[in-house]
């Protein structure tokens, strides 16, 4: 079993939850609820990992942390 970290945000225009897993091409999905999002994300990740070359699986992203940055705009 592999543990990965997804980045989740809520789209203010559509109201949908959107998830991506940085570092894994194609690992993104959206849904109306967080439960549905988790189900979709598991399915997408399983497909992405099946398609990934075995030697590339050693380079899966490792979650380090989150940092908030304040910018002047």
Give the model confidence (pLDDT) of 51-68 as tens digits. 988 877 778 888 888 889
pTM for this prediction: 0.80
- Please tell us whether the domain made up of 7-59 is placed in CATH 3.30.160.250: yes
Judged by average pLDDT, the poorest of 26-30, 31-35, 47-51 is 47-51
Those residues whose C-beta lies under 8 Å from the C-beta of residue 69, and which sit 6 or more positions away, are none
Backbone angles phi, psi at 17, to 5 degrees: -85, 135
Residue recorded with tokens 């910018």: 71
**CA 12 to chain CA mean position, Å:** 18
More confident residue, 35 or 57: 35
Contact, 19 vs 41, CB < 8 A? yes
Cα dihedral 57, 62, 68, 73, rounded to 10, equals -30
């Amino acid at each position: 079993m592999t543990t990965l970290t997804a980045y989740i945000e809520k789209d203010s225009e559509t109201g949908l939850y959107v998830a991506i897993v940085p570092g894994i091409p194609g690992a993104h999905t959206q849904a109306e609820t967080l439960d549905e999002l988790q189900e979709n994300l598991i399915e997408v990740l399983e497909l992405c990992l099946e398609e990934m070359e075995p030697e590339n699986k050693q380079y899966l992203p490792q979650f380090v942390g989150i940092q908030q940055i304040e910018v002047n705009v």
